[in-house]
Amino acid sequence: MEDMKKRKMEDMNNGLQLATSSSSSSSQEHLCSLLEPLSKPQLVELLSRVGSQYPSIAEEIKSIASADPAHRKLFVRGLAWNTTSETLCAAFQVHGEIEEGAVIYDKATGKSRGYGFITYKHMESTQNALRAPSKLIDGRMAVCNLACEGLTGATTPDLAQRKLYIGGLSPEITTEMLLNFFGRHGEIEEGSVAYDKDTNDSRGFGFVTYKTVEAAKKAIEDPQKLLGGRSVTVKLADTHKGKPVQTQIPPPMINLAGIPLAAGYPQPGKVHANTPPVGYNYPQNVASYPNSSYASPPVAAAQYSTQPPMSYPQVPLKKDPIGIPPTTPVGMGGYPFYLGKQ
């Protein structure tokens, strides 16, 4: 009797479990069908409200969001040439635990390429870092954005009106001095003095990117542009680098397919029969010359009769008995030359 009761109890428990599982699956399917037509903003608001009320759901949302490294990896650009991976990690460690961080170096020269990557352990730390994307690291203003966005995530349609070129800087001007001077016009998003890669010396110019277009206009229109004892040049960066590029026009190509070729040469696109070419058979057969001799051409008759040569009498030559007559010696200038008595 007791065994029978135990079996009945087990069967009842199994039935209850099956019923609850089937009901939970049906309720989950029902909820999915209700959530499917909702828009993304509606789902975000619903999950945030439920997560704030139930900590377990909030932890589940965090774990799912942090599972993809693309949501936790930052791209950092504008680094100084002497910035190391340790310095980079130390600057971003204030926002949370870092899983990985490194500066990218050139394989050939071993020098920094001016950018790096930071991967946080949690997505919350990445969001905190993106709230303050600009950081002053080793005297240069570095900017970060999500690595999955690349450089396109950092560019906005009005970037050309917010980025300024600053020329004529003194060699003693540092990035901190540049940012402090131009920070009076508005909040700066990015800015730095341009340095030489090899010597790390100032190249005499820099760039400043404001967060608003109005601040950039104020900096351009400001008449007081004396920094470090020099009058600096302030203009839009696009107008400085925008120079017309001369493009070389390739020479026109001549289509030889439409030009008729001489007989005996194959032309492209035509089928040729197995016949020898006309007019270009080599070697050519040369006719032999006949052995008979040719007669000499006839001699034309003389138009005038020949006359005998005429003889002339011989004239005897007279000899001078004295010889060559003496001549008076002549000096320079045609004057006679006289010899002194001996």
Residue 132 and residue 211 in contact, taking contact as beta carbons nearer than 8 Å: no
Distance of CA 315 to the CA centre of its chain: 107
153, 186, 208 - which closes a domain: 153
Contacts of 240 (CB under 8 A, 6+ apart): 165, 167
The answer to whether residue 126 is domain-embedded is yes
pLDDT band at residue 64 under the 50/70/90 scheme: confident
Same domain membership, residue 219 and residue 179: yes
The residues, any chain, with a CB within 8 Å of residue 97's CB and separated by 6 or more, are 120, 121, 122, 125
Band of the pLDDT at 65, cuts 50, 70, 90?
A: confident
Strand order in the sheet with 112-120: 98-105, 112-120, 73-77, 140-146, 134-137
Q: What is d(CA 196, CA 171) in angstroms, rounded to the nearest whole number?
A: 12
Between CA 187 and CA 159 the distance in angstroms is 14
Q: Residue 164: its pLDDT value, please?
A: 92
163 and 184 inside one domain:
yes
What residues have CB less than 8 Å from 208, skipping those under 6 apart? Answer: 163, 164, 166, 178, 179, 182, 188, 190, 191, 219
Is residue 323 scored above 60 in pLDDT? no
Judge whether 294 lies within some domain: no
CA distance linking residue 167 with residue 205, whole number of Å = 4
Q: What percent of the chain has pLDDT over 90?
A: 16
Q: How many CA atoms lie within 13 A of 191 on its CB side?
A: 25
CATH code of the domain covering residue 86: 3.30.70.330
Nearest Cα to 218, choosing from 185, 178, 183?
A: 185
* Structural domain boundaries, residue 207: 159-238
Task: Give every CB contact of residue 81 below 8 A, 6+ residues apart in sequence.
Answer: 111, 112, 114, 195, 197, 200
Beta bridge partners of 255: none
Q: What is the DSSP string of 80-134?
A: -TT--HHHHHHHHGGGS-EEEEEEEE-TTT--EEEEEEEEESSHHHHHHHHHS-E
The answer as to whether 122 is a domain residue is yes
Domain limit, last residue, from 153, 173, 201:
153
Whether residue 307 lies inside any domain: the answer is: no
The model's pTM: 0.51
Tell me the pLDDT tens digit for each residue of 5-50: 666 566 555 554 544 445 555 688 888 888 888 888 888 888 888 8
The residues that bridge with 190 in the sheet, in sequence order, are: 209
Q: How far apart are CA 319 and CA 322, in angstroms?
A: 9
Task: Please name the helix (run of DSSP H) or strand (run of DSSP E) that holds residue 235, with its range, or none.
Answer: strand 233-236
Contact 152, 162 (CB under 8 A): no
Task: Please tell me the total count of domains within the chain.
Answer: 3
Whether residue 90 sits in one domain with residue 60: no
State which of 134, 153, 172 marks the end of a domain: 153
Give residues with Cβ within 8 angstroms of 256, minimum separation 6. Answer: 268
| Cα dihedral 122, 75, 208, 128 in deg (nearest 10) | 0
Q: What is the pLDDT of residue 196?
A: 83
pLDDT for 249 beyond 50: no
CB 143 within 8 A of CB 76: yes
Please, which pLDDT band fits residue 93 given cuts at 50, 70 and 90? very high
Query: pLDDT tens for residues 254-309?
Result: 555 555 555 555 555 555 555 555 555 555 566 665 555 556 666 666 566 666 77
User: Do residues 119 and 144 share a domain?
Assistant: yes
Other beta carbons within 10 Å of 165: 18
Res 247: pLDDT: 38
